[in-house]
Amino acid sequence: MGDSAALIVAASEQDANLYYATRFWAPDPFILARINGKKILVMSDLELDRAKSEAQVDEVLSLSKLQEQAKRSGAAHPGFSDVLDLLFKERQITSLRVPGNFPIVLADRLREKGYTIVPGKEPFFPERMIKTKEEVAAIRETQRLTEEAVKSAITVIQQSQIKNGELWLGGQPLTSELIRKLLHVTLMGSDCLGRETIVAGGTQACDPHCIGTGPLKANQPIVLDVFPVSLKSRYFADMTRTVVRGKASEKVKKMYRAVQQGQEIGFKKLKAGVDGKEIHDAILKYFEQEGFPTGMIGGRMQGFFHGTGHGVGLEIHEPPRVSNLSDVMKAGQVVTVEPGLYYLDAGGIRLEDMVLITETGCENLTTFPKLLELN
């Protein structure tokens, strides 16, 4: 029996694990093998030189040279599996640990060649969840730029005029699309990329993944959920604020206070060693007590029907989760705290901050104020 290696074949642009392990950003799939603690990349001619200068690995091999070698060994059109076969045979590797998202077609070819393929448990690199100082600084910086963008968006909503219950600005209706574009353009000016940013008013926000469309209305909650990635550091941030231009109803005000208190429960309880489920359940229970039940109402999920939080880093959603599934927090993790309440007769309220878990508690990385009514 031979030795074991870790193997990832992906485009690092789409695979945070591969980017994490190599710090090399590429749009097309390439090979990373970790053999005896050494990281080996196999790169196409197009990326070879850049990988040699940029990738944080031990060795960079040429795909085309290995393909030539595979041809001499009899492969007519050598693909990744033939190249990997060469690489592993030379190094007496017979067993491969791969991420759960490893492509089946390549796994099957390697199995045909006699390799044992073992999908690793998630997270593939558990150390990725624990942020270094540099990583926390990167997340904090993305958050700072996000807050600047959210500030300009909220200022525009605040400055809008109310005409027949709709928000107007500069002679046209103020729409979700306009605020979203303002956020995206402002973020891009700071080298941050916002996608699917949520600017959802009224009942639209009751569908927490509806990004929002059309004219925004006065006296109704508007949810702004902004989660860009820095194109410089590759780290995400994530925040949500809910505002009302005009007057909020009593129900909306009560929902807002409950959601804010829900967040406080999270902030108080979050620390290393605590189970996220305990926090999520406590918030859910608190909402029930305050008269905000969760479940199917009139054929639609209403109340608080998503998780309390998720890890943030090279992906916008990464482990750990603060949800109805057990997941014990560790120092160095960065998670969101984002309870929400959604009722079709009132609209949606969500508040979201990011916190850094420590041994003794948590540190809020978000500094943006929480203010419901804009007048």
- Positions that interact with a second copy (CB under 8 A): 13-14, 25-28, 45-50, 98, 100-108, 117, 119, 181, 184-185, 188-189, 191, 193, 195-196, 207-210, 231, 300-301, 305-306, 316-317
- The least distance separating a second copy from the CB of residue 268, rounded to whole angstroms, comes to 26
The residue among 9 and 354 lying less far from a second copy, judged by its C-beta, is: 9
Considering only CA atoms, which of 198, 140, 183, 112 is closest in space to residue 366? Answer: 140
Name 167's bridge partners.
162
The residue among 47 and 82 lying less far from a second copy, judged by its C-beta, is: 47
- The least distance separating a second copy from the CB of residue 371, rounded to whole angstroms, comes to 27
How many degrees, rounded to 5, is the angle at CA 300 between CA 295 and CA 306?
55
Q: Is the link from the previous residue into 320 a cis peptide, with omega within 30 of 0?
A: yes
The residue among 100 and 165 lying less far from a second copy, judged by its C-beta, is: 100
User: Is 261 strand, coil or helix?
Assistant: helix
Considering only CA atoms, which of 192, 82, 98, 184 is closest in space to residue 139? Answer: 192
- The least distance separating a second copy from the CB of residue 66, rounded to whole angstroms, comes to 16
245 close to 336: Cβ distance less than 8 angstroms: no
- The least distance separating a second copy from the CB of residue 25, rounded to whole angstroms, comes to 7
Please write down the long-range contacts of 24-31, taking CB distance under 8 Å and 24 or more positions apart: 24/50, 24/51, 24/54, 24/55, 24/56, 24/57, 25/234, 26/51, 29/80, 30/63, 31/7, 31/63, 31/80, 31/83, 31/84, 31/87
The residue among 98 and 244 lying less far from a second copy, judged by its C-beta, is: 98
- The least distance separating a second copy from the CB of residue 6, rounded to whole angstroms, comes to 14
- The least distance separating a second copy from the CB of residue 117, rounded to whole angstroms, comes to 7
The residue among 19 and 245 lying less far from a second copy, judged by its C-beta, is: 19
The residue among 54 and 281 lying less far from a second copy, judged by its C-beta, is: 54
